[in-house]
Chain A
Amino acid sequence: MSPRRPAPLFSIVTPVYDPPLDVLKECIESVLAQDFDGWEMILVDDFSPSAAVPTVINQYSRQDARIRLVERDTNGHIVVASNDGVELAQGEFIALLDHDDLLAPTALSRVASVIAEHDDVDYVYTDEDKVGEDGRTYGAFHKPDWSPERLRGQMYTSHLSVLRTELVREVGGFREGFEGSQDHDLVLRVTERARRVVHVPEVLYHWRAVEGSTAVDIEAKPYANDAGLRAVQEHLDRVGIAGRTVAGAEPGRYTVERDLDPARRVSLVIPTMGQSAVIHGASRFLVVDAVRSALECTDHEDVEVVVVHDAPTPAGVLDQLREVAGDRLVLVPFDAPFNFSTKMNLGVSHASGERIVFLNDDVEAISHGWLEQLVAPLDEPDVGLTGAKLYYADQTVQHAGHAYFNAGYHHPFRFRTRDEAGPFGELFVSREVTGVTAACAAMRRETYFEVGGFTETLPGNFNDVDLCYKVAAAGLRTLFIANSELYHYESQTRVAEVAEQERLAVVSRWGTPTEDAYLRSELAMPNLRRVKELPVDLFDGA
């Protein structure tokens, strides 16, 4: 543990415009109830129509000198009012609190304690829930740890956000023209420069759900969605990601459509035994369909198809593959007992592309540009692995990223339908995940060799889990790509049999997973009966 620094001063900035007075009082009371003293509260009254608003605030500031009222002569809207508060802030950090929301009593002390652990913390965000008119809280959003890709798809960090004052001023504070998504825009600009971003996985903020507030419905403020699109697009332009931001499947969600450099050679590596199966009522060679659809659904031209085929693969399959892939086909024969990892490692060893896409032979591409969207994020040097969104033949979700918790490796959101968003947009938004399935995933070739590929000690199961752990151990992010969609006719090709030995092999390397960093078990599996852990203080006391 690093030596403790003196606790910071927080400047709570609250723009106020015409709130119900009791709600405003509750908001201020929640600050006064903090179990931490190092704060000032700057309430900027944005020329509220009712004179009672400044009167109430003045009453509080007479009680407690840490509470300050700033009165504006004109109504400047939220950006201008917030910037007035930022300008006056004397604290090392700015905490943003809306005039009708509540802080949990430990909010500032918990944030102060994580700031104390490192001296380069520039941004802290916490979990949040909603508080209804009856005062009851609900809808807790257990957020992922710092996820820059997810922040491009939605303003997930939201409340409580605590930002280093110096950095807020350096980036120029809130920007006019981004009203409704001004906090998303600010956090994007701050995190582009932040040295360290910390997530406190505790609900420390209660967001009041009142009709007309974004907590209830972002559609109430359509201009907010538009501002969000622009905020994300400008962020992409600033950080040099070539692509477009388009509206996501629901308000407040954004889809980044990246461009893939046409000069990048991509190698699809596909292990197969050349099985046929009945899909949608017709008998087909799976691998041929996989390759055909994969090539049809992409505009990228420099694609190599490396097929690692078992000796019993029917000659007809190989002929059809040659027909479909032409001179882009590289055949690698394999005649050892089944070992998925060995087949993949062999395939990659024969591949010539800078980017490797693992593809099971029982997939079929759905979305046009699946390859571009899957591969392009790998141009970010700290992205090590990307995985696609996979569906069963009936269009229910088979894979939307893995989560490792409660001593197990899970497929959250399995069997959800294709039009479901997930509790907080998890199925529509590309985001950081702990793991992805190897059925359709992509890596830089150099990363694959750096981490030693798939472990051949795991021939059937969990080799992808091990790979994801290795990528994370190398300090690289793994992304679930929501707009790279394919079918995965999983049960068609392999009987899923998990040997206990396979689970142990993973655990012996990486330990037993307790809680997932990116998808909390409370969200992934709300009805989970947790594995009982022996309390640490079991042996305490005499």
Chain B
Amino acid sequence: MTHEGTTSVDHGRGYYDQAHLDGRGDYSWDDEHWRDFFMSVADRLIGAFAPASVLDVGCGRGLLVQALTVQGVDASGLDISEHAVATAHADVRDRLAVASATAPIEGRYDLVTCIEVLEHMSATDAQLAIDRLTAVTDRVLFSSSPDPHGEPTHVNTQPGEAWAAWFAERGFFRRTDVDLSMITPWAVVFERGELTPHEIVRRYEQQYARVRTELLDKRRALLDADRAVNSLRERLDEGPADAEEVERLRAEVAQHRHAVLVSRDHVIGLEAENGRLQRDLSVVLPELRKLQRRVTVLTKRREELTAKLQDTRQRLERNRKRVAQLEAPPAPQASLTRRVARRVRRTFA
């Protein structure tokens, strides 16, 4: 190993618990997220290649090894990090070994996986590692981040075509028909093959043409969308279609304003009239009360006078009678002879 690469120390607790994979904590089999992720990776690998034996180079805490083992694959792993292997789940620890990817590998495997490992190694070590793992298998699942800034331990990031070319030097070619971008966007399966230039060109052209067609389609769609946006923008600026609507709304606003004016005037008119009537009333009411008092006084006065009148009338009547009496001629007196005769009759009766 050279000084340019990373060492076991660089992949201690801090690396696994904080930095690795966006620092999503608890990188272990017990974590549901990670367990589900590696189980589905194992599903994909078994589904695509049905390997009997798998070696995971740079296996970390052996989560992929464990996922494969659970599904009956004879899997094992190696990793440079002593911490990682030591903290691996008990069920899988025996299948893991602490080793550098640059060391010769024993045995023979249907599939070797090497996920996000070589970018952590120096360029020279990475070449050696490729030699080691291509020596023990005909099929490699390979993924190496092209992002130089994702982690401080990414000391050897390379574009995907560089890795593909280096594998091609060793007679391994990309399976263009297999898509494992669920693992990482740049995950690739390399397979040993005696491919003629014809076959290689055909495979790559097939992908290239498809991507190119898609690109052209999308460019065209982008242009169309841009044109549509511009035309809408122009229509918005000129607004010939909207002018009518604006005019209609303006007229409507004016109409409503007019209605507001009319009802406001109506209310104010009623309030004013009410005020005027109140004022009139305040003038008329005292006058009315004054008149009522006068009526009461006069009525009383009338009653008194009527009584007085009646009294006077009665007295008048009496006086009239008396006058009539007095004025009446005295009753004719009986003759002296008759008066004497009556006296005598009474006396001797």
Contacts and interface: CB of A to CB of B under 8 A. Distances in A.
A473 B272 contact: yes
Nearest to B290: A539
B276 A510 contact: yes
B9 interface: no
Contacts of A348: 257, 261
A469 B272 contact: yes
Interface residues of A, number: 27
B268 A346 contact: no
A452 B294 contact: no
A456 interface: yes
A539 B265 contact: no
A509 B261 contact: no
B185 interface: no
B262 A539 contact: no
B261 A449 contact: yes
Contact of A349 (B254, B263, B294, B297): B254
A511 B275 CA distance: 9
Contacts of A539: 287, 290-291, 294
B269 A457 contact: yes
Interface in B132-182: none
A449 B267 CA distance: 12
Nearest to A467: B265
Nearest to B276: A511
B271 to A, nearest CB: 8
Interface string B250-264: 100111011011111
A346 B258 contact: yes
A349 B276 contact: no
A345 B261 contact: yes
A346 B254 contact: yes
Interface string A150-168: 0000000000000000000
Contacts of A278: none
B266 interface: yes
Contact of A509 (B250, B264, B273, B291): B273
A542 B264 contact: no
Contacts of B258: 345-346, 349
B91 interface: no
A466 B264 CA distance: 13
Nearest to B264: A452
Contacts of B297: 542
Contacts of A450: 264
Interface in B237-296: 250, 253-255, 257-258, 260-269, 272-273, 276, 279-280, 287, 290-291, 294
A456 B280 contact: no
A539 B291 CA distance: 7
B321 to A, nearest CB: 38
Interface string B75-118: 00000000000000000000000000000000000000000000
Nearest to A470: B268
A349 B261 CA distance: 9
Contacts of B273: 508-509
20 contacts: A332-B254, A345-B262, A346-B258, A349-B255, A452-B261, A452-B263, A453-B261, A453-B262, A455-B265, A456-B262, A457-B269, A508-B273, A509-B269, A509-B272, A509-B273, A509-B276, A510-B276, A511-B276, A539-B287, A540-B290
Interface of A: 332, 345-346, 348-350, 448-457, 466, 469-470, 473, 508-511, 539-540, 542
Given A345-B258, A348-B257, A539-B291, 10 more contacts: A345-B261, A350-B250, A452-B265, A453-B261, A453-B264, A455-B265, A456-B262, A470-B265, A473-B272, A542-B294
List 3 tightest A-B contacts by C-beta distance, closest first.
A452-B264, A452-B265, A349-B257
